[in-house]
């Protein structure tokens, strides 16, 4: 089985199309998205339409955009983007987002947006939260997104930050953050995605037309700091 796993598309269809065209060159059996299809960017409906056949878990922005969670904890710019998303998403796509589960647990893989302990909201940012979460899944690998920082974690090795082209063998119980397609925050502004095959995971980055997305965001009066952030990758 060859899996493509990615996360945090955030309504960035330009980044998603480049990732999907790269993946089309591989023989991918299953496409998996760890949530936050929408929020921040200018093309929520287009991103949902492209991912309807993928295996997807819900992210906090997916839930917030359809009123399924309280957004009082969101910062002002995230709130503004969520409100814009809510009023620009079709009813059909709202129903699709509402149907997404918060956790998928298979024999070999667990999928969540935030963490296995708190699938929608918890950020896994340090080794304490990661080691605490190891007992909340039974499969060998748990895939997460949410922080937009790609890494591999096991109790034996700790946190390993990864870059484009890096591969990691998966001998132990592991948490993998697959980074972000549509709004990377690790200082590399290229879209991030991964391929899992034969107990090895490989991380990839690809360039996309950031200026085109920024232009669309300006036309929709989305917050300037979110627009600038795409180019910084932070
Ligand atoms: Zn996100």
Tens digit of each residue's pLDDT (9 = 90 or more) over 111-149: 999 999 999 999 999 999 999 999 999 999 999 999 999
Give me ligand 1 centre to Cα 6, in Å. 11
Give me ligand 1 centre to Cα 231, in Å. 16
191 in Cβ contact with 14 (< 8 Å): no
**Residues 88-115, mean pLDDT to the nearest whole number:** 96
18 in Cβ contact with 207 (< 8 Å): yes
89 CB contacts (<8 Å, ≥6 apart)?
38, 44, 45, 48, 65, 66, 97
* Length of the chain in terms of residues written: 234
CA dist list (Å): 82 to 28, 79, 131: 32, 5, 32
Give me ligand 1 centre to Cα 202, in Å. 21
In the chain, the percentage of residues whose pLDDT exceeds 90 is 90
C-alpha 13/C-alpha 9 separation (Å) is 8
Give me ligand 1 centre to Cα 193, in Å. 14
**Residues 64-92, mean pLDDT to the nearest whole number:** 91
Give me ligand 1 centre to Cα 146, in Å. 5
Rg (CA), the chain: 16
138-190: per-residue pLDDT in tens? 999 999 999 999 999 999 999 999 999 999 878 789 999 999 999 999 999 99
Give me ligand 1 centre to Cα 12, in Å. 12
pLDDT value of residue 199: 85
Q: What single DSSP character describes residue 136?
A: G
202-228: per-residue pLDDT in tens? 999 999 999 999 999 999 999 999 999
162 in Cβ contact with 176 (< 8 Å): no
Does the pLDDT at position 77 exceed 90?
Answer: no
Give me ligand 1 centre to Cα 191, in Å. 13
Give me ligand 1 centre to Cα 135, in Å. 24
Give me ligand 1 centre to Cα 53, in Å. 20
**Which pair of structure tokens corresponds to residue 106?**
């298979």
34 in Cβ contact with 53 (< 8 Å): no
């Amino acid at each position: 089985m060859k899996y493509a796993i990615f996360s945090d598309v955030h309504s960035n269809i330009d980044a998603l199309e480049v990732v999907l065209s790269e993946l089309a060159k591989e023989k991918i059996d299953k496409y998996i998205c760890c949530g936050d299809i929408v929020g921040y960017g200018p093309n929520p409906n287009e991103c949902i339409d492209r991912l309807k056949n993928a295996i997807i878990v819900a992210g906090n922005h997916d839930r917030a955009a359809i009123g399924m969670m309280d957004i009082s904890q969101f910062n002002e710019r995230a709130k503004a983007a969520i409100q814009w998303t809510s009023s620009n998403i079709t009813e059909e796509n709202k129903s699709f987002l509402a149907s997404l589960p918060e956790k998928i647990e298979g024999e070999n893989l667990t999928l969540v947006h935030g963490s296995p302990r708190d699938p929608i909201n918890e950020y896994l940012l340090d080794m304490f939260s990661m080691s605490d979460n190891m007992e909340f899944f039974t499969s060998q690998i748990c895939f997460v997104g949410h922080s937009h920082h790609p890494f591999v974690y096991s109790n034996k090795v700790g946190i390993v930050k990864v870059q484009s082209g890096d591969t990691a063998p998966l001998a132990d119980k592991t948490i993998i953050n697959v980074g972000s397609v549509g709004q990377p925050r690790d200082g590399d502004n290229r879209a991030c995605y991964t391929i899992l095959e034969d107990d090895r995971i490989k991380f990839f980055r690809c360039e996309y037309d950031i200026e085109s997305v920024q232009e669309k965001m300006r036309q929709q009066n989305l917050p300037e700091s979110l627009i600038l952030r795409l180019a910084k990758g932070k």
